[in-house]
Chain A
Amino acid sequence: MQPALRPSPKPENCFHCGQRVPATGAVPQARLDGRVRYFCCAGCEAVSRFIHSAGLGDFYRLRATNSGRPDDTSGRDSLALYDEPAMQSRFVRPLGGGVLEAELVVEGMTCAACAWLIERAIGQVPGIESAHVNFSTGRARVRWRDGAARASQVFSAVLDCGCKAWPFETGRMEFVQESERKAALRRFLVAALGMMQVMMYAVPTYIAGEGEITPDLASLMRWAGLVLTTPVLAYSAAPYFRNAWIELRSWRPGVDLPMCIGLGAAFTASVASTLAGSGAVYFDSVTMFVFLVSGARYLERRGLERAGRSLQRLAALAPAHARRLPESGESELVAAVELKPGERVLVRAGETVPADGVLASPEATVSEALLTGESRPVSRITGERVVGGSINTGDAFIVRVTDVGADTVLSALRRMMESALDGRAPSVELARGISVYFVLVILAFAAGAAIFWSQADPSRALWIAVSVLIVTCPCALSLATPAAMASALGALSRRGIVIARAGAIEALAGVTDFVLDKTGTVTQGRMRVQGVIELGSLGASECLALAAQVAWESPHPIDRAIIAAAPEVRSDPEARRSRHAGLGIEALVGGRRVRLGSAEFCRELVRSEKPSIAESATSTAWLVDSRGWIAAMRIGDPMRAEAQDAVRELQERGVKVHLLSGDDPQLVTQVARELGIAEAHGAATPDRKQAYVQSLQALGARVAMVGDGINDAPVLAQADVSIAMGEGADLAKARADVVLVSEDLRSIAQAFGLARLARSVIRENLAWAFAYNALVLPLALTGNVSPLAAAIAMSASSLVVVANALRIR
């Protein structure tokens, strides 16, 4: 039920976004269209007030879903940047006559009503010529007169609606893509229209009895067919003829060649019969064939575009501007491209991190959802990496930029996905190679049939040859692999799995053994306090607080873990901390000497033997003062929560799982036992890891190595497939075939399952394509398939292949 219909004195949900209104304190409210409305926050209130004041209150009636809660829309001061000439040159194009056009990406639209709303809101800005918002693609195209309106006003209007907008940098590529898409649609529609109308002229001649159609009527219908088939062939089929010509000239016969020979022969023969006034015409077959093929290619193109759109989304993630923070003074707004490594940037709440860097503030909460698909915000502490494109979900923080432009994770991911899309997988190459020979065989068969039938029954020779050419067109064969690959790539990237090498999907499908690295793969790769054993009178949190005071700002991972686990402590200025490398830290806290570190180091201070505690494979940090032992803290690298499930899922799929690590063997065995892994090897150096994988391969295993992608370079290179699972920022440097951006171990099993599905789909498709050809070729050779039936059968076989590939999702 819409809140708008309920005159409720005690509202529960926000009028704008539908979230709960705060139970206590002042509820933001506004009198709108004569009614008092309540909101969850001032942001929703401001947006709703704007919508009503612009006379667009209809929005609340039209919308199908609640609107998104506006994020911090205070980014208005940054809008002036869009009026800078340098910035404008990147997304505004002059149309002539003083009219400018820009395309924006709009984020936050939840239903078509939002598109309507934004369109109106932009249209109300004075000087705007036209505004069109496309809900399906999430883009807005705006035209305005230069001087009468400014780009910043457009962005501001979108912000007023509670959505966000950024410039869509139309490269030439995009422009070309759009005109190509339009041309493909036109070709298909022209063919469809021609096909329908030509059928009207053809079907009567099939069903009429002897002498029912007078010769001059038949002649008229032939001429009508010719008039309609000519544009279909000349326009809709033009690309196929162009391709066939290229194939012919380079002596690489492909799919288009036999198709065009068939089409050309059928059309020429039909024209001859039309001119002669007698004989068979095949205009119906020709138009039907062009219609089906252009339809199939249009759909294929749409599928590829959808895969490409996720790339564009990655590109759009990086914000256009940043708040540079000079060493002294206020932050200044600059274009993100002007940032240099080493500079500091301020990221306010709700803003997007403009470049890769390390956190300079004590802590931060960011959402890497758009990057990894993981919606849960992650927290970062000083010195940890923050990836450009992640959104600040907590308080403002400062980032010291380390990488900009092409060096960022975002750019690296995009490059990886692009090269995987462009690259040709071995099986695609193979299918291409096979179809070359296949085409030659078809041409030979068609020529043979033509020669044989011209002796046996000259009146049937031509159409039998045409049928052979059309019905055996290797479209299904050449589509079998690429269709499945494109489908699998899309399905994987939706799950946060990036395929960086074209052949990786096939290699992954054949894997028999998964070798997992421990640190950073099955474990979180970050030290945490796993338990505090109280040895004195202090409670656990007091112990941690004391330890944190001693460890204050120490960069050592174990100390960082203690500081992270401790309740907030204020630095004691009196504390004189002295670090003893490899041993621990001593400090003066409240006038007494306290030591934190190894048992040896602590014993020197207390002069008594350490209390016996249960043996454990994790590291232990001790805390003492001169009076006695205070606590022992277990610090380890905890296992990922989903590790057990992930290993089980892999084992259920029938593969063997191994665990390799450079860590203490005892610890590795313990982890392996918990995970249910039989094969575990500790104390493995990079060389030994590589040798281990090599020995598995010598026994015939196909090995997938899962690591963090950087420390394990040799072993990753040795494995048949390398899978990198990284803390976001390291992915840019990772050299792996498959990259798990989602940081969820279970996605390995998902990727494996999808790869296997893709492999079986490819096999089914190839089997189907060969079986189809084996079945129809003899039928066509013996003159049992008419050209029309051939056109339908061939297209149906291609559609089966494409539909089968779409099962991978």
Chain B
Amino acid sequence: MDILFLLIPLSLVLAFAIGWAVWFAVGDGQFDDLEGPALSVIADDDDPR
């Protein structure tokens, strides 16, 4: 059970890392449009114009 003394602080670090990622994602507008980007993935951008 001693491993918990490492894992619990680690989970805290992880939680804060995810928190920062979410913060950034909201600020970046990644939740503004939930439909368009899904489509842009399958579009070919091979034509360099």
Contact = CB atoms under 8 A, between A and B. Distances in A.
Q: Do A and B come from one complex?
A: yes
A713 interface: no
A58 B27 contact: no
Contacts of B23: 186, 190
Contacts of A182: 26-27
B49 A124 contact: yes
11 contacts: A58-B44, A112-B36, A112-B38, A119-B40, A135-B36, A136-B32, A185-B31, A186-B23, A186-B27, A193-B15, A214-B1
Interface in A383-427: none
Contacts of B22: 186, 189-190, 193
A116 B8 contact: no
Interface residues of B, number: 29
Given A135-B35, A224-B11, A217 B40 contact: no
A533 interface: no
Interface of A: 54-55, 58, 62, 112-113, 115-116, 119, 124, 132-137, 182, 185-186, 189-190, 193-194, 197, 200-201, 214, 217, 220-221, 224, 227-228, 231
A185 B34 CA distance: 14
A442 B28 CA distance: 42
Contacts of B12: 197, 224, 227-228
B15 A228 contact: yes
Contacts of A133: 36
A534 B23 CA distance: 81
Contacts of A132: 29, 33
Given A62-B39, A135-B35, A189-B22, 8 more contacts: A58-B44, A112-B36, A115-B39, A132-B33, A135-B36, A182-B27, A190-B22, A217-B4
A200 B15 CA distance: 11
Nearest to A200: B11
A116 B35 CA distance: 10
Contacts of A194: 15
Contacts of A55: 47, 49
Contact of B34 (A124, A136, A201): A136
Contact of B33 (A135, A190, A224): A135
Contacts of B42: 62
Given A62-B43, A217-B4, A193 B33 contact: no
A116 B39 contact: yes
Contacts of A190: 19, 22-23
Interface of B: 1, 4-5, 8-9, 11-12, 15, 18-19, 22-23, 26-27, 29, 31-36, 38-40, 42-44, 47, 49
B14 to A, nearest CB: 8
A54 B43 contact: no
B8 A201 contact: yes
A288 to B, nearest CB: 16
Interface centre among B1, B19, B27, B44 (most CB of A within 10 A): B19
A708 B37 CA distance: 48
A133 B36 CA distance: 8
**Binding site of B, secondary structure by majority: helix, strand, loop or mixed?**
helix
A200 B4 CA distance: 12
B39 A113 contact: yes
Contacts, number: 79
Interface centre among A119, A124, A133, A189 (most CB of B within 10 A): A189
A91 to B, nearest CB: 19
B26 A136 contact: no
A197 B35 CA distance: 29
Contacts of A220: 4-5, 8
Contact of A134 (B26, B36, B40): B36
A221 B49 contact: no
A189 B34 CA distance: 16
Contacts of A214: 1
A193 B17 CA distance: 11
A424 to B, nearest CB: 31
Enumerate the 8 nearest inter-chain pairs by beta-carbon distance, A residue then B residue, closest first. A55-B47, A134-B33, A197-B15, A112-B39, A115-B36, A135-B36, A189-B22, A112-B35
A763 to B, nearest CB: 36
Nearest to A59: B43
A542 to B, nearest CB: 60
Contact of A224 (B9, B35, B43, B49): B9
Contact of A193 (B19, B26, B29, B32): B19
Contacts of B36: 112, 115-116, 119, 133-136
Given A112-B38, A124-B49, A197 B33 contact: no
B34 to A, nearest CB: 7
A134 B4 contact: no
Contacts of A189: 22, 26
A220 B3 CA distance: 13
A135 B4 CA distance: 47
A58 B43 contact: yes
A58 B15 CA distance: 41
A137 B5 CA distance: 48
Nearest to B25: A189
A291 B39 CA distance: 32
A200 B14 CA distance: 13
A193 B35 contact: no
Nearest to A185: B26
Given A182-B27, A193-B19, A136 B33 contact: yes
A190 B32 CA distance: 18
A186 B39 contact: no
B25 to A, nearest CB: 9
Contacts of A134: 32-33, 36
Contacts of B31: 185
A220 B12 CA distance: 11
Interface centre among A54, A133, A186 (most CB of B within 10 A): A186
Contacts of A137: 32-33
Contacts of B4: 217, 220
Contact of A197 (B5, B11, B34, B38): B11
Contacts of A197: 11-12, 15
A58 B39 CA distance: 11
